[in-house]
Amino acid sequence: MSDSVPPSQLRVSDAERALVETRLRRSVEIGQLELREFDQRAALTWAAKTRGDLDAVTADLGPLPAPAVTAASRHPARRGRRQVFSDTGGGTAMRVLTIIWACVLVVNIVTWASVSLGTADLVFPWPLFVLAPGAVLATLYAAGIGRPDTD
């Protein structure tokens, strides 16, 4: 009598379950599975106890096709500054920074005006100092950093 356990009866780890779920997600991306099938198989994946259980979840899927190779993936050094530093929202970071700066500027102007009116004296216009970050944002935008991608 042999004490070895057949490979299909070996217990699986969460890492192995996660790999199978990734495989299932890829199958949805390439059209092998519908979302309903994915949900059912993902539930079976996380309920699996043995490698045999996991093998049964993906047995009819076959091998994955090789991912498409693009020019950018073949030659990462050829990517321009705009592609490397741009965000997928096309200037989202610049918009957020500009909104934050505008809010800070408005708060400073309102506070300065309130103090000036409350003291009945024209106080030094410190909101002028808040214009410096706005000038930096404008310079970056003029240089093309933070502009939405137009390609």
Q: Is residue 149 part of a domain?
A: no
- CA-nearest of 52, 59, 51 to 23 is 59
**pLDDT score for 81:** 46
The residue that leads in pLDDT, 86 or 4, is 4
Q: How many domains does the chain have?
A: 2
Q: How many other C-beta atoms are found inside a 10 Å radius of the C-beta of residue 71?
A: 8
Amino acid sitting at position 109? I
- Whether residue 114 is predicted with pLDDT greater than 70 in this model: the reply is yes
Which residues have C-beta within 8 Å of that of residue 97, sequence separation ≥ 6? 137, 146
Phi and psi at residue 11, to the nearest 5°: -70, 150
Q: Is residue 1 part of a domain?
A: no
Q: Are residues 50 and 90 in the same domain?
A: no
Q: Is residue 151 part of a domain?
A: no
Q: Which domain holds residue 99?
A: 82-142
**pLDDT score for 107:** 93
Q: Is residue 25 part of a domain?
A: yes
Question: Do 4 and 46 contact (CB within 8 A), yes or no?
Answer: no
Q: Are residues 86 and 52 in the same domain?
A: no
Tokens, residue 105? 């500027």
Q: Are residues 15 and 50 in the same domain?
A: yes
Q: Are residues 86 and 121 in the same domain?
A: yes
Dump pLDDT digits (tens) for 84-109.
444 455 578 888 888 999 999 999 99
Dump pLDDT digits (tens) for 29-38.
988 899 999 9
Q: Is residue 148 part of a domain?
A: no
**pLDDT score for 111:** 92
Q: Is residue 70 part of a domain?
A: no
Q: Are residues 54 and 88 in the same domain?
A: no
- Whether residue 122 is predicted with pLDDT greater than 80 in this model: the reply is yes
**pLDDT score for 92:** 81
Taking residues 131-150, what's their average pLDDT? 80
**Would you say the pTM of this structure is higher than 0.85?**
no
Dump pLDDT digits (tens) for 29-72.
988 899 999 999 999 999 999 999 999 999 998 877 766 655 55
User: What is the three-class DSSP state of 4?
Assistant: coil
